[in-house]
Amino acid sequence: MTESPHAHPIDGARVAHARGRLPSLDEATRLTGLLSLIADPIRLRVLYALDVSEELCVGDLALALGANEDQVTYALRLLRTAGLVIARKEGRVVFNRLAPDFPAPLREHCLHQLVEITRRTPAPLTD
Amino acid sequence: MTESPHAHPIDGARVAHARGRLPSLDEATRLTGLLSLIADPIRLRVLYALDVSEELCVGDLALALGANEDQVTYALRLLRTAGLVIARKEGRVVFNRLAPDFPAPLREHCLHQLVEITRRTPAPLTD
DNA sequence: GCGTTATCCGTACGGATCTACGGATAAGGT
DNA sequence: ACCTTATCCGTAGATCCGTACGGATAACGC
């Protein structure tokens, strides 16, 4: 058989210990769903720009990022679908901002802290 | 022309403001490279298990996660390549642990905080 | 030495994801 | 009315990723 049952753990105590406090697959999937939304250079920078500038339209976002509008539109599509960004239409311009219920920990830890730390770190993993 | 130059920003002040503090594409790419390594249910749980159990071999990890060994092997391959996990061979068993230079902010914010928060939140985005 | 066990590697397949384009919509300006 | 501008949508093609399989390696027990 290819996929051996591996019936006997090598360190049963540690397996039990890990098993007991591991997040469930369901919890992990929820969190990683959010994280992978942030784990993209364009989306991360869109969120960051909205965080510091309050409200921006697609064209201005593209201008600020130096990206093309297609990329930004696609990024916003996903972020809106996930409920992280909300849009407000005024005339023919659509203004985007972070949703009022944007997960605070995500903003604190990823947008603020991690970005700042990365900024001050030369190139930790160029190997 | 399809991709209009969008020469004139709608809110130049905010564009300039965002442009001035935005992480560079390079910085963003470095950070999102790390984040996407964590942004996967199996890899996140592997890292979490190693964090709480210090050191585990592939088979025991698979057992603890309820995943098959192929998945865990693949996860470890990426994590080792990125330098987040190191392996120690003892006999025919390979023990894995978090690298001594595992980025502390990542461990603090993502593994500890975010996982804990997600654990205590029912189902924030089931819409 | 021989079979078994723990693990890794290479590869091929299927699926998800991103990009780029053409066209649709809708609001102004003249 | 007509042209332009701002934005969105659908789709097709490319590309990236994870899974699963077959086989290789290496150590241990008999």
Model confidence pLDDT, tens digit, residues B39-51: 999 999 999 999 9
The dihedral over CA atoms of B28, B46, B103, A35, expressed in degrees to the nearest 10, equals 30
Q: Mean pLDDT score of chain B, rounded to an integer?
A: 91
How far is the C-alpha of B54 from the C-alpha of A14, rounded, in Å? 8
How many residue pairs bridge chain A and chain B with CB atoms within 8 Å of each other?
Answer: 200
Please tell me which of the candidates B17, B44, B56 has its beta carbon nearest to residue A52. B17
pTM (two decimals)? 0.91
Mean of pLDDT values over A98-119: 93
Distance spanning both ends of chain A, measured CA to CA = 38
Please tell me which of the candidates B18, B54, B59 has its beta carbon nearest to residue A52. B18
Mean of pLDDT values over A32-54: 97
Confidence of residue B7 (pLDDT cuts 50, 70, 90): low
From the CA of B25, how many Å to the nearest CA of chain A? 7
- Predicted local confidence at residue B124, as pLDDT: 52
pLDDT at B96 over 60: yes
Mean of pLDDT values over B47-64: 97
- Substitution target from A17, A35, A37 for chain B, most B beta carbons within 10 A: A35
Residue A20 contacts residue B83 (beta carbons within 8 Å):
no
Q: In chain A, what percentage of residues exceed pLDDT 70?
A: 91
How far is the C-alpha of B72 from the C-alpha of B90, rounded, in Å? 19
From the CA of B77, how many Å to the nearest CA of chain A? 15
Where do the H-state alpha helices sit in A22-68?
Answer: 25-38, 41-53, 58-65
Q: Do B69 and A6 touch (CB under 8 A)?
A: yes
Q: In chain B, what percentage of residues exceed pLDDT 70?
A: 91
How far is the C-alpha of B18 from the C-alpha of A79, rounded, in Å? 18
> Scanning every residue of chain B, which has its alpha carbon at the shortest distance from the alpha carbon of A92?
B10
How far in angstroms lies nucleotide C21's C1' from the CA of residue B126? 33
Q: Do A14 and B60 touch (CB under 8 A)?
A: yes
Sign of CA dihedral A33, A85, B28, A110: negative
